[in-house]
Structure 1
């Protein structure tokens, strides 16, 4: 899979910067949930399982709109789809205000679902775009750069909310979120305008045009997206990965609160720091020193170590081992996308839609985590991550090589 936009490497800088801002916006929007979960838990007096439904509502949009998003991209192109996604974000964020006023969990879930729609359309646009913007061999390097922008935004969201509100999370009332959300709405509407006017060339993967199938011989004789086993196994790997990454990023404030740690919102930085370290390594070492599949295997081992230690050590220390889980997660997304999307040719957009649908793992696995937390305690609930990382290791070892 190669870039078909006609650009050479020296013209990639501006598009990469613009797409990086959009990856930051994705992370910021998802990071809001890590603040809302403990807030809803205390303000509405609901269980952990109920408060984690906010995450489920956000990520369930990927299941319903992953494929429609690919159709929209095919109709209006990547750039206009990006702009449309920010409008969806703004609408979802606006609905958080009446949700807080009415103290309604149902309204919060609706608002989260609509913002999740925006996230679906934006991720469906930016992930394949950055993957095919240059050579496939260095796609993980570009995705690592995007990951730094994305993961730094996760802890900035709760920190921004805390700074604007001016209270510790345990003292916040629901109506206190009105001002920061009005600011966020304005910023996301501005980003939509920037996306629409930005100098982003339309790009295509090799063989994506029906009349250029010779550019991708492997896909030339295929008649269905289901004939690509390396893609289908990669979709499952991405499903599991998004779930465990969301746990490592989205549960820290809640876990710190359950441990009785002061200024719980500051613990949101533990996972992003681990991830950014991993992304920097990806930028420096891929593909010059290690391949994308080697990076995936190394990260799977690190994540397994972190998840086992998070469960096994005394709980007052366990929260810090989530950094190893996050470090392991860092290069999984940058490696999984190009490994699964290689040689899809004319099925590139369809493959991308399946990968986006797999992001629904961020709804299902954290919800299962919350159920385990209510039944067995927060520390033991992290055990759910272990089998997920085992499968991702399998995909990095042999699953990505399977061809029909």
Structure 2
């Protein structure tokens, strides 16, 4: 029996019982935002510290999102067996251990060990996301679930901004060496420079790891009420039946594809913003280029709150379609006009990306039985593998062409999301 199975909430008394758990859940959105966007800094840092190609540096995201893909389903099964609170604690412990592994990885200057540490962090985040997203959709009327999840996710960019600021001020240096400059250095000077860049990650990740483990202890000591589960059609008799039901549902399968391409687009744009700026605005240091990434995250955060407000007046699926079409145009602009204006277009793109993940997620799990919701949540989190696949694809395109050309990949992703929104309107009727 889980610790959060099924007592319906009602009125102000129930809302009060959920106050502290909601604060703790919102903190999880902040924590995984920090981890996700520190990766955007790590790509630039590891490219410099280990002298990597764009494709090689992009493996940061590949290792990270592979963890999501492989662990999301076990996380969903664990959550069904032991409950939301236990899944959250287990995820935080994995997150903290992964962050602490950065210290020995930096001491040994081993890129492969860094990738393993990122995999462990992502495994923990898979537990957190699989639990937190469906939790939020249950805390209120079903008809406002999408708007509620958008509002909760609005706190995620605060963590993202914190991650970028940590990376910009405590990891990235203002000293960038060109290949010719590195070649001109003595062997000892070059080794010292590269080792210093590698070890810049140690203290930030040590503090993050300790903070996350401390938060796990806090949640362990907090009493959680039972989560309200709305009355729905009976669930399938078995997990296999629920899976067959979901995979036979065009609406849900469409959400899986849309989420895969959305995460690929978001991660790809943010991962390579620093590289895009440096490639097209010559003489810009990685630290200065990170200001554009900060601007993107501010736009993203504003978009989350604005999107939640707009959904009072515009159906979520219509807003999703509009924002996806706008982003096709913005990414195409960044391809055709690389430089300062292209970088501004990418920053604006983040405003319109803001509603996509929670809207697609909510459309995927909306109106389903509890078993289907939990299983569907795990499957939707698995689609985060798009961040690994499509970011690596962007790196390969950049290595063989230009970083501006690589922005064709997210442009195609936004086109897929626009098609998904159109499909949802057809399936749900003109009211959607």
C-alpha separation between the residues in 2 aligned to 1:168 and 1:136?
A: 49
C-alpha separation between the residues in 2 aligned to 1:272 and 1:40?
A: 22
State yes or no: 1:358 paired with 2:393: no
Q: Compute the displacement of 1:227 (Å).
A: 2.4
TM-score relative to the length of structure 1: 0.90
Aligned to 1:391: 416
Question: Which of 130, 133, 139 pairs up with 1:133?
Answer: 139
C-alpha separation between the residues in 2 aligned to 1:106 and 1:128?
A: 34
Q: How does 1:68-217 map to 2 (within 5 A)?
A: 68-164=74-170, 167-168=173-174, 170=176, 173-203=197-227, 205-206=229-230, 213=234
Question: Which of 217, 235, 257 pairs up with 1:236?
Answer: 257
Q: After alignment, is 130-139 or 366-375 more displaced?
A: 130-139
Q: Compute the displacement of 1:301 (Å).
A: 1.9
Change (3 A) 1:221 1:18: closer
Give CA deviations for 1:229-262 in whole Å, capped at 9, x if unaligned: 2111101100100110112222223333333324
TM-score relative to the length of structure 2: 0.85
State yes or no: 1:270 paired with 2:310: no
Asked whether the 8 Å contact 2:142–2:367 carries over to 1, the reply is: no
C-alpha separation between the residues in 1 aligned to 2:204 and 2:171?
A: 7
Q: Compute the displacement of 1:166 (Å).
A: 8.2
C-alpha separation between the residues in 2 aligned to 1:147 and 1:108?
A: 28
Aligned to 2:8: 6
Asked whether the 8 Å contact 1:92–1:115 carries over to 2, the reply is: yes
SS at match of 1:201: coil
C-alpha separation between the residues in 2 aligned to 1:76 and 1:272?
A: 35
Change (3 A) 1:383 1:192: same
C-alpha separation between the residues in 2 aligned to 1:199 and 1:176?
A: 39
Aligned to 1:261: 284
Q: Compute the displacement of 1:4 (Å).
A: 5.5
Aligned to 1:348: 373
Q: Compute the displacement of 1:9 (Å).
A: 6.0
SS at match of 1:52: helix
C-alpha separation between the residues in 2 aligned to 1:107 and 1:242?
A: 25
Change (3 A) 1:319 1:343: same
C-alpha separation between the residues in 2 aligned to 1:195 and 1:400?
A: 40
Moved over 4 A (4+): 220-223
C-alpha separation between the residues in 2 aligned to 1:261 and 1:382?
A: 20
Give CA deviations for 1:352-374 in whole Å, capped at 9, x if unaligned: 11111111111111111111111
State yes or no: 1:284 paired with 2:286: no
Aligned to 2:330: 306
Q: Compute the displacement of 1:152 (Å).
A: 2.5
Gaps of 5+ in 1: 215-219
Change (3 A) 1:161 1:269: closer
Question: Which of 270, 273, 276 pairs up with 1:249?
Answer: 270
C-alpha separation between the residues in 2 aligned to 1:352 and 1:136?
A: 16
C-alpha separation between the residues in 2 aligned to 1:191 and 1:400?
A: 41
Aligned to 2:190: none
Question: Which of 359, 362, 365 pairs up with 1:338?
Answer: 362
Q: Compute the displacement of 1:62 (Å).
A: 1.8
Q: Compute the displacement of 1:113 (Å).
A: 0.7
Aligned to 2:63: 57
Bigger Rg over Cα: 2
